[in-house]
Amino acid sequence: MVVGNIPEAMDMVVAGAGPGGYTAALHAARCGRRVLLVDEAGEAGIGGVCLNVGCIPSKALIELAQAAERTRTAPAMGLAAAVSGVDLAVFQSWKSAQVKTLKRGVKSLLDKAGVAVRRGRLRVLGAHSALVDDGEGGAQFIDFKSLVLATGSAPTPLRALPFDGARVLDSTGALSLEALPASLVIVGGGYIGVELGTAFAKLGVDTTLVEASGSLLPALERNLSRAVARRLQALGVRVMTSTVVTAMDERCLVVARPGVKGLEIEGLGTAGAAAVVEERLAAERVVVAVGRTPNTADLGLADAGIEVTAAGHIAVGADRLAAPSIAAIGDITAGAALAHKAAAEAPVAVDALNGKPAGFEPACIPAIVFSDPELATVGLTLAEAKAEGIDARAERLPLTASGRAAIMGAQVGATEIVVDSADGTLLGVHIAAPHASELIASAALALEMGVCAEDLALTIHPHPTLSEQLAEVARRLTRT
C-alpha cells in the first residue's frame, strides 16, 4: 500500500455517504464548512445502503408485488385482468433506473454545496487524524478539524448459513435476483424478513419464514404482528416460529423446533425445554435476514479514545459527540437503525462540532414495516407506558370499521391510540393498515406537539380516508 506521507489538511470530513452522511455534509456546507465526504464506493456509494441496495430497492420490489396481487384480485371488482408472468430482469433494469435518478439528485445537491466526494475507507488514527485507503493500493493521511462518522451497518451473518452470493443470500442479494426461485426460505422474521417474504409470496414464490423467537416481528407489540401473521397465512407463507436452522444440504434446510417436552437444543432454550422436532425445508434460495451489524470494527476508534459497546455501537451524548472533534450518527449509534433517524441526527452532530448548543432529543421516532398490512408505530405502547409508571389507557378500532379500507379490499388491521389517563395526552399511536407508513407522520407530529385525544378528535379528518380512524379512536377515548 502506497501511503501519502504528507498529511492533507481538511476542515470537516464525513465518513459514509448514506442518508446520515450526505445530510451531515450538506448541513456542514450550509454552515460554511469545507467538506470532504468519504465513502468506500466513492460517488457510486452516494445514498448508502438505503438508496442503493436497501430501502428504495426493497420498496420497488414491494410495489411490483403489490401490483401483481392487485391484478389477481381485480376480477372481484369487475376488472378482467391476469398476470401472465413476472420478469425480474426487466424489474432490475427499471429499479436501477429509479436508483440512478435519485442518486443523481443527491449528487447534484452535493455538487452545488461544494462538497467533495472521495472513494476510500477511513480509519481514525487520533483525535484529529485519519487514514483514507482507496482500496487500490493508495492511501492518504488526513488532518481534520472535525469528523462525522456515518458508516452505517451490514447484514449480520449466521455461522450455519454463510453467505455465498448464489444460494445463501443477504437482503442485497435477494433484491438483485433476476429470476424468481421456485422455493425460498427466509431466516429471520424481523422487518426485513417479513417485507421480503410478503413480496416474494405475492410474486408466486413458495415462501417459508423461519424465526428463532416465539413470534414474527418480535420487536413489535403482538397486536400489530398478529395482523401481519394472518395476512401471511392468507398469502400461503409458511411461518415457523421458535425454529432454528441446524444444517443445509444441496436441496434443503434442516430446521429444529420444539415438540414434546424432554429434550433441549441450542437456540431454543435450556433445561426443561421442549423436545426437538427436525424438519427439512425445500430451499432453492435462502435469505438470511437476522439483523444488521454496525460498521465500526475497522474504524480504529480505540486510537482516538472512543468507546464502542459490546453491540458495536459508538457511545455518544445527546449532541452525538463521541469526542470533542468527532461525532457519530446513524446505525453505528444506539437506537433503531433507521434512515430517518440518521438524517435527523446529522444536523445535530454538525452543529455540536461547530460549537453550537445541540441535542438529539426527539419526543418520538416513527418506525415502519412495509408488510401487508403496513405497520407503523410511534411513541409508547400501553405496556411500555405502564412499565414507566404512567397511568395509561388505550383504545383500538379494527380496520373493518373503515369505508375506505372496505373499497380497497383491506380487512386485516387496526388503529390504536395510547393516552395518559390523567389528561388524555397522546403517548403512542400504532397502525396496521394500508398506507400506515404515510399516516404515521401526522401521529408523530401530534406526539411532538403534546396534543391530547380531544385535540385529535376535534380535528376534522377528510372522508372517506384511512386517516379517519385516528379521529374516531380519539373520539372513543374522549367518551371513556
Write out the catalytic residue numbers.
463
Whole-angstrom CA distances from 474 to 368, 393, 421, 442 are 21, 12, 13, 14
Q: Dihedral of the CA atoms 293, 294, 299, 303 (nearest 10)? A: -110
Whole-angstrom CA distances from 45 to 22, 49, 53, 61, 130 are 10, 8, 10, 21, 20
Whole-angstrom CA distances from 44 to 39, 47, 53, 123, 270 are 9, 8, 12, 20, 47
Exposure string of 246-277, with b = 16+ CB inside 10 Å and e = fewer, is: eebeeeebbbbbbeeeeebbeebeeeeebebe
93 exposed, middle or buried (CB, 10 Å; 0-12, 13-18, 19+)? exposed
Q: Dihedral of the CA atoms 49, 55, 57, 62 (nearest 10)? A: 160
Backbone angles phi, psi at 5, to 5 degrees: -75, -30
Beta bridge partners of 72: none
318 exposed, middle or buried (CB, 10 Å; 0-12, 13-18, 19+)? exposed
122, three cell numbers: 477511513
CA distance 227 to 412: 6
CA distance 23 to 344: 8
Angle at 261 between CA 260 and CA 266, to 5 degrees: 100
51, three cell numbers: 438508496
Residue 269 CB contacts under 8 Å (≥ 6 apart), including other chains: 258
Whole-angstrom CA distances from 112 to 51, 115, 252, 295, 357 are 20, 8, 52, 29, 27
**Can you give the C-alpha Rg of the chain in angstroms?**
24
